[in-house]
Structure 1
Amino acid sequence: MLTPEQARKISLIEVLLEEAEEQRPGMVQAPPEQAALLWSEDEIRRYFNEQLSATGTSSAIGGGNAPLDGAETSRLLNGPVGQSLTPPRPPPAAPVSARCSPELLARWFPGLPLSGTATPNPRARILAFHSAGNAEDMWTSEGTGPRRSPSPLLEWCRVNRVELLAVQMPGRGSRAREPFITNAQAAAQALLPVVTPLLESSAGVSYAVLSHSFGCWVAFELLRAVRAAGLPQPRVWCLSAMPYPDVPYDKRPWRRQRTLDDTDFKEEMRGWDVNEVVFTRDMWQLYEPILRADCTVFDEYELQPDASYDRAVRQASGGNTVEGPPPLEPFDFPISAFWGNQDRRISRGLVAPWARYTRGGFTLREIAGNHLWPINNRQAKATWLTELVSALETALV
């Protein structure tokens, strides 16, 4: 069994390897598997710095280890609109045949080349949204070394020529220098022009949507924007571990991050089953600003009803947000929802009301895991991904 120190070093290697791959795709080799057992954290950082120096890249991976103070966190969260930021060099453009900017594709979907699902003529596409504090690699990576775990989803995509487009939100990974987006509607509006050429009827490619936790409300707002723009709808949406979007503030089982100091915020994150490794000094410097930004998205989220929504029906139901009609026209595609039976935040009762948002059929499945089962429970993740593949097989193939 790994010690906490070894687990922390494995996580550090994965973070540095991802950042190195984004800077110099295919040029930096992972350190030997025994590095997590024998090397110090400084030696691990030195290895990556030397690797990047040898490939002609000036690395910032190992530098700047001073803790972020409150002013710096505030700047990262609330950078001025229009601030001139130079994003890191994007990875190579994915071979997508639709009419879209290679730069935008690479920025929003940096994991496509590494996922092994890129294809010139995809049979179908999947849009996937990561959870809070995480990145697109929760969908596109199978891990490295002792933590490698084959993904039933990626294997199915490769066999069936299905392109997995995992969204990378700004402020992390290859987009670390970009300001965070802390509003679900704003995220949807930023993403809409990127995905429009991929979803247009002329593209002739069907698609599905996957989302976990915080990514569900971003996906929901994008699907509303897609429908408003007259674009084709997905064949299925598989969502997990997030409450229905019109859940009242007083029913939300979490504390808003803006009310919490560092100690209380860490405790709040523990309630979401965030791994203890994240709270170590070096890792917390990386994750605290990301988590605060992502928490702001769902802390402050308020569903805005469709302009054409007829409120008479809702008023007749007594305004019941669990049993009554939703504040917008239901979708026509099926929704497949999942909840974790060990989740201390999101219960079955908070996920089940998503059924109100579709006329296309609704299923609700239980997963034997906590809130972050895709991150910290291999068996639960494998079961969940297999269930996703089953839903995708029915909808797309």
Structure 2
Amino acid sequence: MTITGDDLLARWLRRYRDVSVPGLRLVCFPHAGGAAGFFRTWAARLPYGVELYSVQYPGRQDRIQDDFAPDMDALAGPVAAALRPLCDRPLALFGHSMGAAVAHEVAMRLEEGGSGPLAGLCVSGRPAPDRARHTQVHLGGDEALLADLRKLGGTDEEVLTDPDLRELVLPALRADYHLIETYETRPAPPVETPVHVFVGDADPEVDGDEAAAWARHTSGAFTLRTFPGDHFYLLPGEADVVEEVVRACGPVDPWPSTP
């Protein structure tokens, strides 16, 4: 069976804001254990002319029957293929935590395939690839995973304590922690796409030097934006984060007039 571009798009992307002639397409990549719906609320904050997509990793929500991606290639490769048809308009990527690493890999693949540079690559809550921290939480079992979630914040305590809810989230969490903790960046030149780093000032997962090191991974423009908060600073600071993403990445072409 031949898998078409439309099939890939439907499998991997959820569109939360449709625009007839978008001035910018924004594609968001969730954190470990996260799902596309994490970014659904961004749709109401975007200016007219910005189309919003979010990546749906396999093994969760409406893809609960799909096998988890065993490694970064199995995740970033199909997402890049799904996004290529969308590169006829300015395209920006935003990834948080594990999603930042996936977005970076996708940007590299799109450029290698001739679909770049992009309008922008926004990486949030993760050290630069050459400064990645080597952790092994996935080897510690379920309690280690749950303890790490508590440390990072952003997860409702009911999810961590209710046995039924825990069983819903733990499979995806195990798979994602294994993927990101065994991931090694492949040798590649810096992307030409501008890189914009977003970080919380109290994030235990990334410090200022680790965030600033992303500058070495682009030959284009580079910015670093710091927000108040911990690893999930983008939840209480959603309005400011969305505004900064749009300011950093667009518009590239003239936007359609507001109806």
- TM-score tier after normalising by the smaller chain length: 0.7 to 0.9
Bigger radius of gyration among the two: 1
- The one-letter amino acid of 2:145's match is F
Contact 2:76 2:102 in 1 (8 A): yes
In 2, Cα distance between equivalents of 1:164 and 1:247: 30
Q: CA deviation at 1:395?
A: 4.5
Aligned length: 249
Contact 1:187 1:218 in 2 (8 A): yes
Contact 1:107 1:174 in 2 (8 A): no
In 1, Cα distance between equivalents of 2:20 and 2:224: 35
Q: Which residue of 1 aligns with 2:257?
A: none
1:186 to 50, 71, 74: 74
In 2, Cα distance between equivalents of 1:392 and 1:154: 18
Q: CA deviation at 1:219?
A: 1.0
Q: 1:384 and 2:241 equivalent?
A: yes
- The one-letter amino acid of 1:260's match is G
1:266 to 146, 149, 156: 146
Moved more, 267-276 or 169-178: 267-276
Match of 1:217, SS?
Answer: helix
1:301 to 163, 177, 183: 183
Question: 1:282-297 alignment to 2 at 5 Å?
Answer: 282-297=164-179
In 1, Cα distance between equivalents of 2:209 and 2:151: 18
Q: 1:104 and 2:13 equivalent?
A: no
Q: Which residue of 1 aligns with 2:233?
A: 373
- The one-letter amino acid of 2:184's match is E
Contact 1:211 1:239 in 2 (8 A): yes
Question: 1:335-374 alignment to 2 at 5 Å?
Answer: 335-374=195-234
2:45 to 155, 159, 175: 155
Q: Over residues 128-157 of structure 1, what are the superposed CA-to-partner deviations in whole Å (9 max), with x where a residue is unaligned?
A: 1111111111212x3xxxxxxxx4x64324
- The one-letter amino acid of 1:294's match is D
Contact 1:207 1:396 in 2 (8 A): no
Q: Over residues 153-181 of structure 1, what are the superposed CA-to-partner deviations in whole Å (9 max), with x where a residue is unaligned?
A: 64324x12x22121111111111110111
Contact 2:126 2:205 in 1 (8 A): no
TM-score (normalizing by structure 1): 0.59
In 2, Cα distance between equivalents of 1:286 and 1:223: 31
Match of 1:137, SS?
Answer: helix
Contact 2:24 2:252 in 1 (8 A): no
Q: CA deviation at 1:277?
A: 2.4
In 1, Cα distance between equivalents of 2:130 and 2:222: 18
In 2, Cα distance between equivalents of 1:124 and 1:261: 41
Q: CA deviation at 1:272?
A: 2.1
In 2, Cα distance between equivalents of 1:362 and 1:262: 38
Match of 1:165, SS?
Answer: strand
Q: 1:396 to 1:134 in 2, by over 3 A?
A: farther
Question: 1:54-65 alignment to 2 at 5 Å?
Answer: none
Gaps of 5+ in 1: 1-98, 143-150, 306-327
Structure with the bigger percentage of strand:
2
Q: CA deviation at 1:394?
A: 5.1
In 1, Cα distance between equivalents of 2:211 and 2:62: 32
1:127 to 13, 19, 27: 27
In 1, Cα distance between equivalents of 2:77 and 2:191: 19
Contact 1:125 1:163 in 2 (8 A): yes
Q: CA deviation at 1:393?
A: 3.4
TM-score (normalizing by structure 2): 0.88
- The one-letter amino acid of 1:109's match is L
Contact 2:103 2:121 in 1 (8 A): no
Q: What is the RMSD of the two structures over their aligned residues, measured on CA atoms?
A: 2.0
In 2, Cα distance between equivalents of 1:100 and 1:122: 19
- The one-letter amino acid of 1:279's match is L
In 1, Cα distance between equivalents of 2:101 and 2:159: 24
Q: 1:219 and 2:74 equivalent?
A: no
Q: 1:386 to 1:192 in 2, by over 3 A?
A: closer
Match of 1:126, SS?
Answer: strand
In 1, Cα distance between equivalents of 2:56 and 2:245: 20
What percentage of residue pairs aligned between the two structures are identical? Answer: 30
In 1, Cα distance between equivalents of 2:208 and 2:59: 31
Q: Over residues 192-250 of structure 1, what are the superposed CA-to-partner deviations in whole Å (9 max), with x where a residue is unaligned?
A: 32222222xxx3x12111111101111111111112212232111111101111336xx
Q: CA deviation at 1:345?
A: 2.0
In 2, Cα distance between equivalents of 1:107 and 1:272: 29
